Structure 1
Amino acid sequence: MVKRIILVTGPARSGKSEWAELLAEQSGKPVIYLATSRLDPDDPEWQGRIDRHRIRRLPSWSTQEVPVALTAAIFQGTTSGNPACLLVDSLGTWVANLLEEDDPTWRAILDELMESLRGLKEGTVIFVAEETGWGVVPAYPMGRTFRDRLGDLVRRLGAIADPVYLVTGGHAVNLSAIGSVLPPTQTLEN
């Protein structure tokens, strides 16, 4: 069996989730959709976004809601003896769910995720991640923390994923085919 880590990144409403779903469908493996969002019945707009994602999923796919325990869900889904294709949508929401963790705790969570991915022996994991660092620097500390944590995570995943896709304007570009991986960087410190 072979392991495969795929990263699909891009701005909001670019088509990145649809591209990741197409890749999952084409994998030929059972698909487990790891949804990182938290349901909020008091936010109908958020519920509408979740519903649109649900409607697109194939009936044969299983869904797990994993707002925090992502590493454990990935480990479980890739060690079941029947390697699946795990689709994680999205890393930005996962980072937001853990935003109140202090920096040492966050670094430990991130290191645990990266170590578990390096140790995968089989299965496919497709990550969907938002690109948030292309705009202005947020004027408030929590916004800067979110942007920096997500940016660091995406860069670290990009170093071990193959392929890495950038989806923008409804087009998927295989960055692995046209780009070069930068050397590792230190985890961001505040």
Structure 2
Amino acid sequence: MAEATAMDRQQLILVTGAARCGKSEWAETLASESNKAVTYVATATIDPTDPEWQARIVRHQQRRPATWQTRAAVEDLASTICQAQSLDCLLVDSLGTWVANLLDRSDAEWEILTQELLDKLAISLATIILVAEETGWGVVPAYPSGRLFRDRLGMLTRRVGSIASTVYLVTGGHVLNLSQLGTKIDR
């Protein structure tokens, strides 16, 4: 696959798309092809009272090779990024869950956390693959918390995309390399 050769030069990859479109599977493929030690960075918490959520987590776990490490980064994602070395590949799944975990933070706190993450991503020597859900392609959420989530995730995805070496859109079971097909919007 042509992507595998390019993968050796890439340091920051964004995989975005709608729910259940194959984002995580594509990100897992890229991580497998990186020829690096892969750490799956889980941003979700396990809720013992939610069996459907637990089943989703188990499905993700079952797809991953046994050789991959797993690390939780529910809130402090920047520190996890900072600890990665050049021979590492981090697969962060997902930015949407990370945003949801921090939704109660003030706008000022959120901006500090976001900038800290972006700074660590920009200087990391590791290959980092971030999965992000696309929001806002439908109706405007009826509740303030829904609008806040949509806006924060949308802006974070845009900011990560502006520094990423490659951005993929996964939709309808197909992968589009937006870095080759599209034009980057300046920040």
Per-residue CA distance 1:99-129 (angstroms, 9 max, x = gap): 0001000000000011111222x21000000
* Structure 2 Cα separation of the partners of residues 132 and 2 of structure 1: 29
Native 8 Å contact 2:10 2:166 kept in 1: no
Q: Which runs of structure 1 show a deviation greater than 3 angstroms over 4 or more consecutive aligned residues?
A: none
* Structure 2 Cα separation of the partners of residues 14 and 169 of structure 1: 6
Q: Share of identical aligned residues, percent?
A: 57
Matching of residue 151 in structure 1 with residue 154 in structure 2? yes
User: Given residue 89 of structure 1, which amino acid in structure 2 is its aligned partner?
Assistant: D
TM-score, length basis structure 2: 0.94
Instruction: Tell me by how many angstroms 1:86 deviates.
Output: 0.2
Matching of residue 8 in structure 1 with residue 11 in structure 2? no
Native 8 Å contact 1:92 1:130 kept in 2: yes
Matching of residue 35 in structure 1 with residue 42 in structure 2? yes
User: Given residue 128 of structure 2, which amino acid in structure 1 is its aligned partner?
Assistant: V
Instruction: Tell me by how many angstroms 1:66 deviates.
Output: 1.1
Question: Does the residue aligned with 2:74 lie in a helix, a strand or coil?
Answer: coil
* Structure 1 Cα separation of the partners of residues 171 and 59 of structure 2: 19
* Structure 1 Cα separation of the partners of residues 42 and 143 of structure 2: 28
TM-score, length basis structure 1: 0.92
User: Given residue 13 of structure 1, which amino acid in structure 2 is its aligned partner?
Assistant: R
User: Given residue 14 of structure 2, which amino acid in structure 1 is its aligned partner?
Assistant: L
State the superposition RMSD in angstroms.
1.2
Per-residue CA distance 1:67-88 (angstroms, 9 max, x = gap): 111100111123xxx5200000
Number of equivalent positions: 180
Unpaired runs of at least 5, structure 2: 1-7
Native 8 Å contact 1:129 1:154 kept in 2: yes
User: Given residue 112 of structure 1, which amino acid in structure 2 is its aligned partner?
Assistant: E
Who is 2:5 aligned against? none
Who is 2:32 aligned against? 25
Native 8 Å contact 2:40 2:92 kept in 1: yes
Instruction: Tell me by how many angstroms 1:134 deviates.
Output: 0.5
User: Given residue 95 of structure 1, which amino acid in structure 2 is its aligned partner?
Assistant: V
* Structure 2 Cα separation of the partners of residues 89 and 118 of structure 1: 18
Matching of residue 65 in structure 1 with residue 68 in structure 2? no
